[in-house]
Every structure is written in C-alpha cells, then in structure tokens.
C-alpha cells in the first residue's frame, strides 16, 4: 500500500468523494467527516432493495469504501474545534462545499494552514473557487453541459444525452486525488502544503477529444450521433448490431488503424457480404479520399450497411472471438450482467467481496483497479456506517503530519515534479494525458515514437484548419505539450540499446502497448530492472497484462463498450447511443495518475521500484460501480435512462430557441423546485401538494418536463441559464466546442494556452485540470514534431558524441 503513512480528512460529498476513495485504495487512512444525518451522497440511488436508507446507498458503498466515518457538526463551535484538531495532524483534506463556505466557518485553507502549514487542502466545486460562475448552483448534469461532453453525446434528433450513471463529479473527484499528490511532491521538498482547486467543468472539458479547441484552430465542431460521432461530412459509426445485442467496431482509417480495417473487410469478403473491390479499397488513405471528393460519401454509407448486414449474422461472442484470432478492433457492448460475468475480470481477481454490515451477506463489487508489484491496493473493505468510527478517531492521540518532519529545502527547479524523469512510450490519449500532467508540473518527459509506425493520436481530428496531417492534430498537441520528442525504432538492436540507456537515466518508464510487444523486444520489467533496480514500469493497456483478453488491442471506444458504458447511455426506446468517442481514455487517467504518483512516493521513501499492471477497462469500471452493485445485490440490469435521474425531477436537457440549442436544468432540492416554478410562471405546480416531495415529482416527471420545455423553447439558452441561476436553480446552456472556448469561466481560469509551434505557427492546448496555489502548472512548449528532441536527448541527457549518433543514424535506429 504505497500511501500507508498518510492521513486524509475527507469532507467531500458527491462532487469529490471519489478522490478520497482512490487515496484509500492506495493505502491512506481516509476519515470521512460527515454531518449529523450523513453525507448527501448517502441519499443517492440506487439503493439496496430499493429502500431509501442512508446505509443502503450503492453510491455510498461504491465511493466510501475503505474510509472511516466520523460525525461532526460543523455548525457548532465544538464540531469545528474537533475538525481543527484533526486537521492539525492530517496530511490531506478534501472538501466540496460551496466556494467560501468553509472560510465562513473558520475552516478555509488559510485557517487550517495556520494550524498545519504542511496541509494539502483540496477544494472540489462545480466551477472552481473564483470566477464569474463560481457561485453557480449546479449538479453533475450542469457540469457536463458547461464543459462540453453533453453537446456531443446522443442521437442528433433528440436532446444531448448524459451517461445515466452520473460521471462529471467522478471525473472531478479523480482529479482531486491526482492534484493532491502533485502538491504532495512539492511538500516533500519544502515541508509546506498548498491549496488545490478542482473545477468539475474543467475536468469534464477534457472528455471532448480536444474539440473545445476547434474554434481556435479553424476546425469545425464535432456533432453528436448515437453509436458514433459526426466529424465534418462523415457520420462515423462505432456501434453495430449483433444477433444478441451490439458490438463496437473501430471501422476507421489511417496508417495506424487501416490495417485492422483491411483485415476486417477480408473477413466480410470471406463470408460473402462484399465484393473484391470493396474489400480492397485503400483503407490507409480512405479518410483523405472521402474528404478530397475522390470517393463519394454515398459509397462509405453503402459499406456501413454491408457491415451491418454482416454483423447481424453473428453473436457478440462470435464477433469478439474471431476478432481475437484475426487481430481486429471489435468489442462487445456489454450490459452490467456481462461485465459482472466477464471471464477476463474473474481471471484477474478483479472483484472484491465485502460483508454487508447488517445482514452479513457477501457482496461482490469492483475491486483493484491496478496491480502493483510491490505495494498492492487495499480495496476489499466496505463503506462505513454513519459515525461508525467517531469514538475511535476522536479518542486517538494527537497525530503529527508526516511532512512536519521534512526539512525545508529550496526547490531545485520549477514545478513540484522537477527532477522526476519519465520515459514515455504511451500512445493516443489515455496514456499521454497522464504524462502531460507530469510535465505540466516540472517532470522531464522523453516521449519516444517512431516514424515507421505513427501514433494514432497524430491521425485523429480535430486538425488545424481542418487539414489532416501527422503534425496537425490538435488532439496530439493537447496530449503531448511540453514533452521532449525522440524518434527511436525499438525493432532495431541499436534502438533498444539507446532505450536501455534512457532506462538507466529514468525514474519511470510508461508504456501502453499490448503485453506481447515489450516482451518481444526484450524490454519487459525484469529486463529493465536489471539495468535500473529502482525503475517504476507503468504498463497501461485495455485489458491488462494477463487473462484471456490480455492481447486485446484497441482504443477507448472499445473499452467503453466492454466496460458497460454503451448500454447505460441511451434512451429506453432506442439502441444504445454510447458515450462520446474514446470515452474511457478520459476516465482511466483519473486512476492512472494517482497510481503513478503513489508509486513514486513509495520509491522516494524506500528506494524500491515496481511494475504496475494497469487495465483501463478495470479502472473505468469504477465509474459504473453503483450500477454494477445494483445488479450484484438487486439482480437488476441498469439501463440507459435518457436524461432522467433516480433522485431528481425535473432533470433534463430542454429545447431553447434556435436550431440544436439546449439548456440543462435540474432541481436537487425542494427550494430549487419552488424557485423553478416561480421563474417559469407555474405557481400552480408549486402549490400542488403531490409535487412537494421529490418522490411526487419523480412520479410525474414527464408532465414536469413538458412544463419546463414549454418555457425554455421560446427563449435563448443563455437567457434561460441567466434567469434560473439568478434564483438559485441549477441550469446551464449546453455548450459546444466554440462556446466552451469562449466561456467566461474557462477563460477566467486561464484554461487555454497558445504556444509557438515550428510548423503551425501557434498551437492551442488546454491547461491543467488542477490549480495549485503556490506552484501552478507551467505550459511553455508545444508538443514535439517528429524527432525534435533527438539532439537534446542524445547529447545532453545521454552524453552521446557525434560518432555514436552517426552510427545510430546509419543503422536506422533514429526513425
């Protein structure tokens, strides 16, 4: 357990509680500080046996496991004094109160830092601690509308759509753990803590595949399409019918994905569903042919229909089984029962079993989201009962923070992670996001790629000025800003020699190949440890390093399908719509970054490295944990609910004036319901005794949706937002990429950076998901062009001379 020396005070409810759970899994002593009556997260459904009881909430069971519960009444001076005493001995504190609320109680960062200067104090809120929208009323749905993911999810003839298991606050909670540990690294040198400000809007903006940058680079916005996405004139389909459900197929093109598509079309041909001319199309360059007018869009549409006729003749298991044999990009669109019964997850001992606190029944739930070679996670623990540990914790002797023993030393360079050295073999999105976060805070990251096999991330929209090209992808720029780029062919022995020299230099090697790749090159963990006994090797892939699906290759859309996200995103009367694009690529980093930082902390204290086996699908499964528990305990398969919520009504996305203009509105409290009725001029609804409770409103949700829509339909979405927020009703315009780029709150937080680029002139990227008060992120360099850092790496880092470099170049090792 890498974080076993540390204590966390977790005051967060739904917006931030995942952060405490991640730190608890990593071994920290996490104390959930709850008010009398319990955390509001205990009121989130679904519930065991559908009994609305704070001890039976699957949301609480999912994201409070491993914590200790203490009840303190912070409305009283006695309760506040008890919290101050606990904070004086804590290493971290996480809270999710409205901005300014903790300070008004004398419990803000400045107040507690005066008692404990080493405290890392994390605040999670919908829009951040300051700015024009900081005081906005919000729910999870509102953050998704403000950050961009909502606009690009769902069917184009219906309102924008959310995943039916709320996701926005989980993204923010995961970022709370990552931000806390980055601040902790600076504390290891200085002995001082700082304030970490997490905005859920910023957290969700990262899940748009960089389309929030589209207006800055002259590209068109992505548009939503159920079961896929719309990019320019192309309707890119990702979901296909099978005999017994649906599968996700990456029927995509380009140098990285084209070979998979070619093999897939060979199978379609063998089964008699297409002719040779269709089979033999130029799948490597097919996007360029379509966009350049050399291949009609109608032909692309015809081929998609051919594929549909083919897939309908096979079961999900048949399609996936053959895909494994032929090395194709196909995954089942699993429901939660499929996930629960997965042979792959069972083979990796993914499921944890905990004992029900009242009945004693054994309950299976998602478990270890990473496999640490030296410091295993601590996941097989249940969530606490309300106040279960109050007496225990308050009777413990005063504790001294771990960092209080650190002798303050001057920082050797800019950033909390200055001096940390990373060799980065990550591809596309899920891995590069993690190493981008490290370089933002001072780590030296050497990104290795090869011109002989181009990173798929370089081939994905949005492109600068809409022009495809290996140096033109805004997604690639966004994921890799600040890194040193090196071209190296690991297929050549000379290239592997250079790589091993980098391993000797590095603290961490990160890679995201399928398991066989590194071993085939002789660069597996055992080999790396021979040249650097303290090395940390972080291996990230879709399914993990072991199990029957270990060799499964693919992208985040496939992991999202396998992990169950497609089935819980959609309308009850339609096929699954699925989340936007490579969805799990934006979930798994919320676990990967804390895992890597925790391993670095353990290495800092012990000198011991280790191998981390990280399965993106397993980590992402925790974002569906309440739905999985609903099946595990209640035997119910959680399905897509449109924009309905288990606990709130009205709750949805409503039409505004104009084409495809929408506003998200939610009422989380009775007071918000009454305010909504006042704004829309429906005093009759406010006076209806059947609607005074949430249960009554849920029973008539369709009538209420009609009433809200009648008011919003004739008004501009920004006007709806303004009028409702003025009365404290959670509401926000559903923002597309252009509106996110112009959003005053994101602009206030300095979320966008324009960086010089040698070929593009200027590259625009997003900023960090974490705002640290003393040591902010530094985004100073655009993503590397091919081989841009070769000279720096070979000469300055490795000390090679001209002769050695010439030999490498002559051998083709630097390609």
pLDDT in tens, 465-493: 999 899 999 999 999 999 999 999 999 99
Q: Which residue has the tokens 């902010």?
A: 776
Last residue of a domain, one of 694, 716, 744: 744
pLDDT of the residue at 410: 54
Pick from 716, 668, 733: nearest CA to 148: 733
Looking at the structure, tell me whether residues 431 and 546 fall in a common domain.
yes
Supply the CATH number for residue 305's domain.
3.30.1540
CATH number at residue 157: 3.40.50.10540
Q: Does residue 408 carry a pLDDT above 70?
A: no
DSSP state of 413: S
Q: For residue 482, tell me if it sits in a domain.
A: yes
- State both tokens at 89: 């001995």
pTM of the full structure:
0.97
Query: pLDDT (tens digit, 9 = 90+) per residue, 18-55?
Result: 999 999 999 999 999 999 999 999 999 999 999 999 99
pLDDT digits (tens, 9 = 90+) for 707-726: 999 999 999 999 999 999 99
| Whether residue 526 is found in the same domain as residue 392 | no
Q: Cα-flanking dihedrals φ and ψ of residue 47, to 5°? A: -120, 155
Read off the pLDDT of each residue in 298-305 and give the average, rounded to a whole number.
97
Tens of pLDDT, residues 618-677: 999 999 999 999 999 999 999 999 999 999 999 999 999 999 999 999 999 999 999 999
Q: What is the mean pLDDT of residues 265-287?
A: 96
- Chain CA centroid to CA 134, Å: 22
Q: Is residue 721 in some structural domain?
A: yes
d(CA 50, CA 790): 60
411 has pLDDT over 70: no
Average pLDDT value for residue range 342-363: 89
Residues 64 and 95 in one domain: yes
Looking at the structure, tell me whether residues 170 and 303 fall in a common domain.
no
Distance between CA 231 and CA 209 in Å, rounded?
12
Task: Give the containing element (helix H, strand E) for 674.
Answer: helix 670-679
Task: Give yes or no for residue 404 having a pLDDT over 90.
Answer: no
Using the predicted structure, report yes or no on whether residue 407 has a pLDDT greater than 90. Answer: no
- 500-528 mean pLDDT: 97
Residue 759, helix vs strand vs coil = coil
Whether 540 and 484 share a structural domain: yes
Number of H-type helices and E-type strands within the chain: 35, 27
- Residue 726: Cβ-neighbour burial (10 angstroms; 0-12, 13-18, 19+): exposed
Length of the chain: 815
Kindly tell me if the per-residue pLDDT of 254 is higher than 90: no
The verdict on 573 and 715 lying in the same domain is no
b vs e for 89-122, b when ≥16 Cβ sit within 10 Å of the residue's Cβ? bbbbbbbbbebeebeebebbbebbbeebbbbbbb
Residue 735: domain span: 651-744
State which of 699, 714, 744 marks the end of a domain: 744
What is the spatial distance between Cα 478 and Cα 753, in angstroms, rounded to a whole number? 10
Mean pLDDT of 538-552: 96
| Mean per-residue pLDDT, 484-506 | 98
Provide, rounded to the nearest whole percent, the portion of the chain with pLDDT above 70.
99
Quote the pLDDT of residue 358.
76
Give the number of other CB atoms < 10 A from CB of residue 50.
12
Band of the pLDDT at 734, cuts 50, 70, 90? very high
Together in a domain, 675 and 781 = no
What pLDDT is recorded for position 468? 87
Q: Confirm whether 368 is domain-assigned.
A: no
Strands 536-541, 508-511: pairing is parallel
Whether 445 maps to a domain, the answer reads: yes
Average pLDDT over residues 692-713: 98
Q: What is the mean pLDDT of residues 299-304?
A: 97
Residues 390, 386: Cα–Cα separation, whole Å? 9
Confidence grade of residue 403 (pLDDT, cut at 50, 70, 90): confident
| Range in 223-232, 671-680, 781-790, 799-808 the model is least confident about | 223-232
Q: Which residue has the higher pLDDT, 362 or 169?
A: 169
Angle, alpha carbons 470-476-477 (nearest 5°): 105
Question: Can you name the residues that pair with 496 across neighbouring β-strands?
Answer: none
Taking the CA of residue 32 as centre, how many other CA atoms within 13 Å lie in the half-sphere pointing to its CB?
Answer: 34
Q: Whole-number mean pLDDT of the chain?
A: 96
Under the banding of pLDDT at 50, 70 and 90, the label for residue 368 is very high
Same domain, 443 and 557: yes
């Amino acid at each position: 357990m890498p974080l076993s020396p540390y204590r966390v005070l977790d005051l967060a409810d739904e917006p931030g509680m995942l952060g405490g759970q991640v730190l608890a899994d990593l071994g920290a002593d996490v104390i959930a500080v709850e008010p009398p009556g319990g955390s509001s997260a205990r009121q989130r459904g679904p519930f065991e046996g559908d009994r609305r009881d704070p001890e039976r909430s699957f949301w609480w069971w999912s994201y409070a496991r491993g914590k200790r519960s203490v009840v303190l009444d912070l409305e009283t001076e006695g309760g506040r004094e008890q919290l101050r005493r606990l904070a004086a001995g804590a290493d971290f504190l996480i809270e999710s109160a409205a901005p300014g609320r903790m300070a008004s109680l004398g419990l803000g960062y400045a107040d507690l830092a005066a008692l404990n200067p080493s405290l890392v104090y994390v605040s999670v809120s919908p829009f951040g601690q300051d700015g024009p929208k900081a005081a906005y009323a919000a729910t999870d749905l509102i953050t998704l509308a403000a950050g961009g993911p909502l606009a690009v999810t769902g069917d184009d003839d219906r309102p924008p759509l959310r995943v039916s298991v709320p996701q926005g606050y989980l993204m923010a909670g995961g970022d709370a753990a990552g931000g806390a540990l980055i601040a902790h690294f600076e504390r290891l040198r200085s002995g001082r803590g700082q304030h970490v400000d997490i905005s859920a809007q910023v957290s969700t903006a990262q899940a748009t595949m960089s389309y929030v940058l589209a207006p800055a680079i002259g590209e068109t916005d992505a548009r939503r399409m159920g079961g896929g996405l719309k990019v320019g004139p192309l309707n890119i389909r990702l979901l296909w019918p099978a005999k017994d459900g649906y599968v996700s197929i990456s029927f995509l093109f380009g140098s990285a994905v084209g070979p998979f598509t070619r093999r897939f079309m060979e199978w379609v041909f063998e089964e008699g569903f297409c002719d040779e001319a269709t089979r033999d199309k130029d799948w490597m360059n097919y996007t360029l042919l379509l966009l350049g007018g050399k291949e009609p869009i109608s032909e692309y549409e015809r081929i998609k229909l051919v594929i549909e006729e083919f897939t309908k003749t096979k079961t999900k298991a048949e399609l996936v089984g053959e895909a494994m044999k032929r090395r194709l990009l196909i995954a089942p669109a699993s429901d939660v029962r499929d996930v629960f019964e997965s042979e792959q997850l069972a083979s990796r001992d993914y499921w944890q079993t905990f004992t029900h606190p009242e009945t004693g029944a054994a309950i299976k739930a998602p478990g270890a989201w990473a496999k640490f070679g030296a410091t295993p996670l601590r996941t097989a623990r249940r969530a606490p009962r309300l106040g279960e540990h109050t007496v225990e914790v308050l009777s413990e002797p005063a504790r001294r923070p771990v960092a209080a023993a650190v002798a303050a030393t001057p920082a050797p360079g800019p950033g909390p992670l200055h001096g940390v050295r990373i060799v980065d073999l990550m591809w596309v999105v899920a891995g590069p996001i993690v190493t981008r976060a490290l370089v933002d805070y001072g780590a030296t990251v050497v990104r290795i790629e090869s011109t002989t096999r181009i990173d798929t991330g370089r081939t994905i929209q949005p492109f600068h000025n809409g022009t495809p090209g290996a140096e033109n992808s805004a997604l690639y720029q966004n994921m890799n800003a600040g890194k040193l780029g090196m071209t190296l062919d690991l297929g050549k022995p000379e290239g592997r020699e250079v790589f091993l020299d980098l391993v000797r230099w590095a603290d961490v090697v990160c890679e995201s190949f399928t398991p066989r790749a590194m071993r085939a090159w002789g660069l597996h963990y055992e080999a790396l440890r021979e040249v650097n006994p303290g090395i940390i090797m972080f291996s990230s892939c879709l399914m993990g390093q072991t199990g029957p699906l270990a060799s499964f290759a693919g992208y985040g859309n496939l992991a999202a399908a396998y992990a169950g996200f497609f089935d819980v995103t959609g309308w009850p009367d339609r096929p699954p719509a699925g989340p936007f694009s490579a969805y799990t690529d934006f979930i798994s980093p919320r676990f990967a970054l804390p895992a890597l930082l925790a391993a670095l902390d353990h290495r800092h204290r012990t000198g011991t490295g280790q191998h981390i086996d990280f399965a993106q699908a397993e980590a992402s499964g925790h974002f569906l944990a309440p739905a999985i528990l609903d099946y595990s305990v209640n035997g119910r398969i959680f399905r897509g609910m449109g924009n309905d919520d288990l606990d709130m009504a009205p709750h949805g996305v409503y039409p505004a004036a104009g084409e495809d203009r929408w506003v998200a509105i939610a009422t989380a409290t009775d007071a918000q319901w009454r305010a909504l009725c006042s704004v829309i001029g429906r005093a009759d609804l406010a006076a209806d005794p059947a609607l005074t409770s949430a249960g009554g409103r849920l029973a008539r949700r369709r009538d209420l949706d009609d009433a809200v829509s009648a008011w919003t339909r004739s008004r501009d979405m920004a006007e709806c937002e303004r009028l409702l927020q003025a009365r404290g009703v959670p509401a926000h315009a559903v923002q597309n990429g252009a509106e996110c780029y112009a959003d005053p709150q994101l602009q206030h937080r300095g979320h966008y950076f324009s960086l010089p680029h040698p070929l593009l002139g200027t590259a625009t990227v997003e900023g960090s998901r974490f705002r640290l008060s003393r040591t902010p992120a530094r985004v100073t360099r655009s993503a590397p062009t091919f081989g841009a850092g070769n000279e720096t790496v070979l000469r300055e880092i490795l000390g090679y001379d001209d002769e050695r470099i010439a030999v490498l170049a002559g051998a083709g090792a630097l390609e």
